[in-house]
Structure 1
Amino acid sequence: MENIMKRKGLGKLAISLAIGVSFLSACSAKTSAAKQKTTLNLMQTSELTTLDNTNQATMSEFSTLTNLDEGLYKLNSQNEVVPALAKKVAKPANGGKTYTIQLRKNARWSNGDQVTAQDFVYSWRRSVDPTNKPVYTYVFSGIKNADAIAAGKISPTQLGIKAIGKYKLQINLEHPMQSFNKLVTMPVFLPQDKAFVQKVGTKKYGTNAKYTVSNGAFKITKWTGVDDSYSLVENKYYYAKNQIKLKKINYTTVKDDNTAYNLFKTNKLDDATVSGVVAQGLQNNKNLKKVSRAWTYYLQVNQGSGRPLANAKLRKAISLIINRKELTQKVLGDGSTAAGSFVSPKTATDPTTGKDFSKETAVSTQQNVKEAKELWKEGLAEIGKSSVTLNLIAEDTETQNKVAEYIQSAIQSNLNNVTVKVQDLPAKSLSNKKAAGEFDLSLWYWLADYADPINYLGILTTGNSMNSGKYSDHSFDSYVENAQTAKTKAAYWSNLRNAENQLQKTTGIIPLYYVKEDHLVQDGLNGVIYHTAGFADYTRAYWK
């Protein structure tokens, strides 16, 4: 009996110990699981249509490329230029016109090919070759022969970039460029695996996962070119793979704020962007992170021959009729602010005045219905019309839909003899419409690729591939050109100020608001670099 009781007592002790061990194991497993979490779920607001960095320029493309590839340099968490595929940040020689850059020898593409100097030469030439139908040629302006090549006057082989051996580049400029090192952090300056692109063909390259390779921390998978979702997985050849904690990044296209919020609440999104009514109700949410962006929403105004808004008075009237305070506070409600300048706040400080460039060049954002009505009446008389119909196009996202409807209502309810038709279009259809000039007003945005006013103003010069509204003003063009070729800091910033002032004086575009980006971020996500200019870098993200 005594032995039996002892055995029962031992049995209870064993059970208690087992329960304790089981409890501790469960706690340990939870802690371990948290530490071992290696997947990140993100969203895009539009479909990914291509990963060929030489002929497209959409937000979904550039944000994905930022996390797939590396160029010569990248930006760190302080938005400073640091080496990526280059061994160090090069200093110019030859009076600021020549950069000689040594590349690291251990960089590889996701198919195992080595990244070479020739891959940069090949990609940059494609980016200015008019037969490739590039849209970002203007950023190459200043690199030797880039403008002449883009105009179809000389061969792309004459571009001022050449390989000196396998791992050394030499870049020659036509004049010193103060922002050159920042400039080449843009995705358009990424290299391309020449052998791979030529093998699959330039028309197929970047159209789906099978026809895409990358040289960064990840490679793309589960993307056929028309999917609403896709994934990035480890690039086993990445030279710094020991720094990468994530195994996978999943992207999902989400165009609706409510959907984004619901996906975040159910842990299907780890970093979700929200705006409008949804953002308004989340301003005190503990997971809300406000991100300052060098990002301006504006109306592109079609000033092509024969279009009604080629008339400056009609353009000015539309600008004056918009109540930007109401738009930002009641329609958006996400912290975005009224825009009185094309260049957004915190993009750059004018070193010659010590002032924020955006604030020192901004015009009034006050609505003025009386003046707008007068200008509208005079403008209609000048073009010989008793009434006009305007086509306003926008991307089919919830935010753009709401803003477009607000603009439509503002114009039709305050100006006489005008009808505004709104079309909400997928990203690709919108791009095609703009390229064909089939619009009067287009709701669009500019998110600076690098922190300098020239990155905004340069896209509105005559004939620029990003200038869908065909704005053309001789004085504006001269100011931008003089800034680009300025030999002194004072001349550079003076010309930039004059360019911004001329743009507003002629209503070349209609600035609407500066974006304050609201992110819902899951607890424990660390290591994300949210750049003011450019795109968020998730490559070093981790869970804690």
Structure 2
Amino acid sequence: MGIVMEKRKIIKIVVPLIIGMSFLSACAAKKDASKQKTTLNLMQTSELTTLDNTNQATMSEFSTLTNIDEGLYKLNSKNKVVPAIAKSVVKPTNGGKTYTIQLRQDARWSNGDKVTAQDFVYSWRRSVDPANKPVYTYVFSGIKNADAVVAGKLPSSQLGIEAVGKYKLKITLEHPMQSFNKLVTMPVFLPQDKSFVQKIGTKKYGTNAKYTVSNGAFKITKWTGINDSYSLVKNKYYYAKKQVKLNKINYATVKDDNTAYNLFKTNKLDDATVSGVVAQGLQNNKNLKKVNRAWTYYLQVNQSAGSPLANAKLRKAISLVVNRNELTKKVLGDGSTAASSFVSPETATDPTTGKDFSTETANTTQSNVKKAKKLWQEGLAESGKTSITLNLIAEDTETQKKVAEYIQSAVQSKLNNVSVKVQNLPAKGLSNKKTAGEFDLSLWYWLADYADPINYLGILTTGNSMNTGKYSDSVFDSYIANAQVAKTRTVYWSNLRKAEKRLQATTGIIPLYYVKEDHLVQDGLTGVIYHTAGFADYTRSYWK
């Protein structure tokens, strides 16, 4: 009896204790759950000036648009094209010239409007209309009548895109485009809510949060159009909102690497990009994440008539005196690697060979001073010159100042009868000099818009607005032209390989290094899609 009674007492005491412990555990679980982060703090390196995708093309704009909007297709974590507003990735008909695309019917803008085929038609027409002063028109080339519209010879209504139903698009090309599906993942091909834009006016659209709507996972808030910080909040109308774990993304403009690092250390930034000296000192940091980007720094060489470096031997000589391995390891020291071609590694795999395109077309990165000296003397003689003064222009950033100084030293110390004058300029001043052709060498870069070699190589065709060095080679042009109209991928990739090799053989540009983007990422952040070409997608990221 006594033992039974004691057991009953124990049971009476233990049961409330268990209940109490369970209650405390439940409270603790709820408390832990309430601590689950749903906010992400990010940075931009320049101010956001517009979200009108039809007349600007800045990194801050494209980065933001990637996280608030969706086009026909998007890239997944493996950089493969997958459906977004389109119901599926379609195959073209009419010999590869017609794309008929069904749109999903549950996509809505952040104001509740439905996303329709007409929204794509409206946006694309605005993007090629000269009256809108568009800047990224060359990417539309190949779509029916795009070049003629851009040139002002046809109205934008003649562009090869039409709505053949509320949720069906028909896109017509002038010739097959092997890279079309990748191309339209670019933010410039995003739709616009036609009724909204027309209601507020095209001059106001995208100038602040009030005059902007989006159809993706988030919508923008707290952006006045001139402030250097803003937020993205969940779009309650997004068709896949259950897949979005974050409630808010805060953006701040941070231009200085030291500031970015300090903000990261104090947990005010969750994903910070750093470069230069700061990045050099963080190469062994446990939070450092190296992101491969389709990003090549190179020397643009002014080859216009009368320019000293119009002579191919002189250009080749300069390329041969640059020790790229020394440049990347001793001058940069941030993980960047020596460039052996224009197209950067991991941009694209050649499906006809199974090899990385950059690797299979690579040239040597080794310097050869002896050969360079011989070519230099021959080039001087052919040009009728005994000495040359070269003007090298570059950005006024800490890193680019160092790179420019290295190029200057390499050329002057290893070649005879040459002087290199360096001028470091702010971005706008540099752009103006390049456009005016007031340089001999320009330190510049190409960050691919989409993951295809033609996005690099195509900008160097004769007359292309991006080709400020005036490189002009009929053989190179023919390879690009053949690729653009190729009906099979075998023909397409064969011509691209030949074009890259021809560019190297003629020293159309002088590749220097491939950029490795250094990110400091807080522990626990996962699900970010860091694209090789394009911009990081944070829409499905979350905290573990």
Output the CA distance in 1 between the equivalents of 2:386 and 2:201: 50
CA positional deviation for 1:478: 0.7
CA positional deviation for 1:459: 1.6
Output the CA distance in 2 between the equivalents of 1:312 and 1:446: 22
CA separation of 1:231 and 1:377: change in aligned 2, threshold 3 A: farther
CA offsets per residue over residues 199-239 of structure 1, 9 Å max, x none? 44444433433433322122223334444333222333322
Gaps of 5+ in 2: 1-16
2:9 corresponds to which residue? none
Are residues 1:476 and 2:470 paired? Answer: no
CA positional deviation for 1:24: 7.1
AA at the equivalent of 1:94: N
Gaps of 5+ in 1: 1-15
- Checking the alignment, whether the CA contact within 8 Å between 1:42 and 1:270 is kept in structure 2 is yes
- Checking the alignment, whether the CA contact within 8 Å between 1:205 and 1:211 is kept in structure 2 is yes
CA positional deviation for 1:352: 2.9
CA offsets per residue over residues 61-82 of structure 1, 9 Å max, x none? 2222111211001111122222
2:512 corresponds to which residue? 512
Are residues 1:327 and 2:318 paired? Answer: no
CA offsets per residue over residues 399-455 of structure 1, 9 Å max, x none? 3343334334433444443232222314x4544443444444333222223322112
- Checking the alignment, whether the CA contact within 8 Å between 2:394 and 2:444 is kept in structure 1 is no
Aligned-partner SS, 2:101 = strand
**Matched positions, count:** 525
AA at the equivalent of 1:423: N
Output the CA distance in 1 between the equivalents of 2:389 and 2:478: 33
- Checking the alignment, whether the CA contact within 8 Å between 1:526 and 1:543 is kept in structure 2 is yes
CA positional deviation for 1:55: 2.9
1:224-239 maps to which residues of 2 (within 5 A)? Answer: 224-239=224-239
AA at the equivalent of 2:48: L
- Checking the alignment, whether the CA contact within 8 Å between 1:34 and 1:543 is kept in structure 2 is no
1:34 corresponds to which residue? 35
1:259-270 maps to which residues of 2 (within 5 A)? Answer: 259-270=259-270
AA at the equivalent of 1:339: A
CA separation of 1:476 and 1:225: change in aligned 2, threshold 3 A: farther
Are residues 1:189 and 2:189 paired? Answer: yes
CA offsets per residue over residues 70-122 of structure 1, 9 Å max, x none? 10011111222221111222222222221111112232223333322112112
Output the CA distance in 1 between the equivalents of 2:286 and 2:295: 25
- Checking the alignment, whether the CA contact within 8 Å between 1:408 and 1:422 is kept in structure 2 is no
CA positional deviation for 1:522: 0.6
Output the CA distance in 2 between the equivalents of 1:201 and 1:305: 45
C-alpha RMSD of the superposition: 2.8
- Checking the alignment, whether the CA contact within 8 Å between 1:390 and 1:419 is kept in structure 2 is yes
CA separation of 1:22 and 1:405: change in aligned 2, threshold 3 A: farther
Aligned-partner SS, 2:510 = strand
CA separation of 1:94 and 1:493: change in aligned 2, threshold 3 A: same
CA separation of 1:95 and 1:276: change in aligned 2, threshold 3 A: same
AA at the equivalent of 2:314: L
Output the CA distance in 2 between the equivalents of 1:204 and 1:356: 44
- Checking the alignment, whether the CA contact within 8 Å between 2:405 and 2:422 is kept in structure 1 is no
- Checking the alignment, whether the CA contact within 8 Å between 2:340 and 2:365 is kept in structure 1 is yes
2:533 corresponds to which residue? 533
CA positional deviation for 1:125: 1.7
CA positional deviation for 1:339: 0.5
2:394 corresponds to which residue? 393
Aligned-partner SS, 1:67 = helix
Output the CA distance in 1 between the equivalents of 2:104 and 2:541: 24
Output the CA distance in 2 between the equivalents of 1:75 and 1:238: 18
2:221 corresponds to which residue? 221
Identical-pair percentage:
80
- Checking the alignment, whether the CA contact within 8 Å between 2:106 and 2:114 is kept in structure 1 is yes
AA at the equivalent of 2:127: S
- Checking the alignment, whether the CA contact within 8 Å between 2:282 and 2:288 is kept in structure 1 is yes
AA at the equivalent of 1:454: I
2:11 corresponds to which residue? none
Output the CA distance in 2 between the equivalents of 1:152 and 1:383: 43
CA separation of 1:34 and 1:280: change in aligned 2, threshold 3 A: farther
1:279 corresponds to which residue? 279
CA positional deviation for 1:25: 9.3
- Checking the alignment, whether the CA contact within 8 Å between 1:182 and 1:450 is kept in structure 2 is yes
CA separation of 1:95 and 1:417: change in aligned 2, threshold 3 A: closer
CA separation of 1:391 and 1:297: change in aligned 2, threshold 3 A: closer
Output the CA distance in 1 between the equivalents of 2:201 and 2:385: 51
1:423 corresponds to which residue? 424
AA at the equivalent of 1:236: K
Output the CA distance in 2 between the equivalents of 1:332 and 1:519: 16
2:105 corresponds to which residue? 105
2:240 corresponds to which residue? 240
- Checking the alignment, whether the CA contact within 8 Å between 1:276 and 1:331 is kept in structure 2 is no
- Normalising by the residue count of structure 2, what TM-score does the alignment of the two structures yield? 0.88
- Checking the alignment, whether the CA contact within 8 Å between 2:178 and 2:486 is kept in structure 1 is no
Are residues 1:302 and 2:305 paired? Answer: no
Output the CA distance in 1 between the equivalents of 2:276 and 2:456: 25
Are residues 1:173 and 2:146 paired? Answer: no
Output the CA distance in 2 between the equivalents of 1:195 and 1:434: 39
CA positional deviation for 1:39: 1.5
CA separation of 1:97 and 1:389: change in aligned 2, threshold 3 A: closer
- Checking the alignment, whether the CA contact within 8 Å between 2:387 and 2:418 is kept in structure 1 is yes
Output the CA distance in 2 between the equivalents of 1:372 and 1:43: 43
1:500 corresponds to which residue? 500
CA separation of 1:221 and 1:404: change in aligned 2, threshold 3 A: farther
CA separation of 1:152 and 1:96: change in aligned 2, threshold 3 A: same
Aligned-partner SS, 2:196 = helix
CA separation of 1:341 and 1:159: change in aligned 2, threshold 3 A: same
Output the CA distance in 1 between the equivalents of 2:275 and 2:429: 24
- Normalising by the residue count of structure 1, what TM-score does the alignment of the two structures yield? 0.88
CA separation of 1:82 and 1:350: change in aligned 2, threshold 3 A: closer
Aligned-partner SS, 2:68 = coil
AA at the equivalent of 1:321: V
Output the CA distance in 2 between the equivalents of 1:432 and 1:21: 70
Aligned-partner SS, 2:35 = helix
Output the CA distance in 2 between the equivalents of 1:279 and 1:211: 38
Are residues 1:53 and 2:41 paired? Answer: no
CA positional deviation for 1:124: 1.3
